[in-house]
Amino acid sequence: MRRLRLRRLLPALMALTATPALAHEGHHETLTLAEQARHLLTEPDHILAFAGLVVLAVAGAWQWRRARAKARK
């Protein structure tokens, strides 16, 4: 019961506390490939987004391996 309540409450809280993306100024379509790569790898907002994707990928892989090991038992 408590777990079900948390599964409903957590997404609601995340949706209510989400902030809109704040884009930085500048036109990126005129940048060369190297400049775009440098931009993506040095801007804090891009680094944070990439770190979030890595965390989600690792958590998903961990859950998948855990479920697979549990199914084998």
Tell me which amino acid residue 7 is. R
Q: What is the pTM of this model?
A: 0.56
**CA–CA separation, 65 and 55 (whole Å):** 15
Chain centroid offset of residue 40 CA: 15
Q: What is the mean pLDDT of residues 47-57?
A: 93
Average pLDDT, the chain: 84
Structure tokens at 40: 């993506």
C-alpha dist (Å) from residue 61 to 7, 12, 69: 21, 25, 12
Q: For residue 1, is pLDDT > 60?
A: no
Residue with tokens 């809109």: 20
**Lowest-confidence range among 5-9, 51-55, 66-70?**
5-9
What pLDDT is recorded for position 23?
A: 62
